Structure 1
Amino acid sequence: MSRFFPHAAYAEDQPLAKTILTTHVLTRAFQASSLGGAGVGLSLLTLRRLNVLSPRISPLPAYLMILRSTGTGAVLALGILSVGLPIRMSGREAIEWQDRSWRLRGNKGQTELDDWTYAGMAAAAAAVASKVKGLGWRGAVGGIGAGSVVGILSYMGWRYGVKGGKFEEDDTP
């Protein structure tokens, strides 16, 4: 997201502030709720395997059950935050939108996280594209949500595992 939006020298000059902040909030909502939905799916699967839930309640294969709950969580959070963000930011001055967006655009870690997130989502979208009929819309959205979570985990492994949490400019005295 953020590499494709301009970054002004000063916050008060930041163009597309509402678009940048909205994109950021909805992306993070999608990711967080995908992770939560996957947790719900895994919990249901565990309860089913422990015979607490009858297998007849959810006869779906395990992967589809997890993907569907991931997709449901993602769509619910997108809906809630699509309404919640405008409510939270209502009555705010333009400079408040611009400042938040400007800080997001100026954050190297956030920019890199966005790159990994969208790469994970794109790879997952390509993977589920041929299986949409078998997955249904909830499974397809869940697959993309799972891809965003894989993107986050990959970013964390790269930035904090391989790179030690430092950016190249931080190494210079």
Structure 2
Amino acid sequence: MSRFFPHTPYAEDQPLFKTILATHVLYRGFQAGTVVGSLVGTARSLLMLRGTSKLAVLATVAPTTILRSAGTGALIGTAAMVVGLPARMWGREEIEWRDRSWRLLENQGQLETDDWSVAGTLLAAVYATLKVPKNDPYRLRKIIGGTGLGSMAGVIGYMTWRYGINGGKR
């Protein structure tokens, strides 16, 4: 995602600084909300196991509950960052916006994380859109949840590649 924005040699010259920072923060809110939402969905699914066949619940209820909860969490996380970013940056000078945006684009680890997470996001969005039935009343939330989980799968893939296979070396 960060590679799509222009990057200057100096922070003072960084164009699109508010767009870069807002995109980064909203995307991280989306990811954080997905993680929290999927954890809530998992807990709800485990609580539903009482008094029923565990295999039947895990096979039918858990995936839909987790996807729906991940989608809800992603929306809530993004909405929280819509409020959080202006609150955090209120009264800041333009150079602070430029510097934060420039540092995001300068950080090679951040660029690599973005590459992997965006790839996971796009693949999961296509898959979820094709897989979730059109008549499902929670279709949009499940697609958003699947997209968020794909984003996190991309991050896990990056961490496995960078730190597991390559030992942290570039």
**Structure-2-length-normalised TM-score:** 0.90
What residue number does 1:142 align with? 145
Q: CA deviation at 1:41?
A: 0.5
Residue from 158, 164, 167 that aligns with 1:164: 167
Cα distance in 2, alignment partners of residues 96 and 41 from structure 1 = 38
2:50 aligns with 50
Moved more, 39-48 or 135-144: 135-144
Where has structure 1 moved over 3 Å in runs of 4 or more? none
Q: State the shift of 1:93 in Å.
A: 0.7
Partner in structure 2 of residue 103 of structure 1: 103
**What is the rounded CA distance, in whole Å, between the counterparts of 1:6 and 1:161 in structure 2?**
31
Paired residue secondary structure (2:6): coil
Separation in structure 1 between the aligned mates of residue 158 and residue 144 of structure 2, nearest angstrom = 21
Matched residue, 1:154 = 157
Aligned length: 160
> What CA distance in whole angstroms lies between the structure 2 residues aligned with 1:17 and 1:166?
30
Q: Distance in 1 between matches of 2:62 and 2:70?
A: 12
Is residue 39 of structure 2 the alignment partner of residue 36 of structure 1?
Answer: no
1:72-91 equivalences under 5 Å are 72-91=72-91
**Structure 1 stretch 92-101 or stretch 79-88: which is displaced more?**
79-88
Deviation at 1:162, TM superposition (A): 1.2
Q: SS at 2:168's partner residue?
A: coil
Give the letter for the 1:97 counterpart: W
1:17 aligns with 17
Preserved contact between residue 117 and residue 151 of structure 2 (Cα < 8 Å) = yes
8 Å Cα contact 2:29-2:80 kept in structure 1? no
Structure 2 spans left out of the alignment, 5+ residues: 53-59
Deviates more, 1:70-79 or 1:42-51: 42-51
Give unpaired runs (5+ residues) of structure 1.
Answer: 53-59, 168-173
Amino acid across the alignment from 2:28: R
Matched position secondary structure for 2:25:
helix
In the TM superposition, what is the alpha-carbon distance from 1:21 to its structure 2 partner? 0.6
The whole-number CA distance in structure 2 between the counterparts of 1:141 and 1:118 is 14
CA-to-aligned-CA distance 1:42-76 (integer Å, 9 cap, x gap): 10011111349xxxxxxx62211100000000001
* 1:131 paired residue number: 131
Provide, for residues 99-156 of structure 1, a one-character-per-residue CA deviation record: whole Å limited to 9, x for no partner: 0011100000000000000000000011011234235111110000110110110000
Residues in 1 aligned to 2:65 and 2:88: alpha-carbon distance in whole angstroms: 34
Check conservation: 2:162, 2:168, Cα contact below 8 A.
Answer: yes
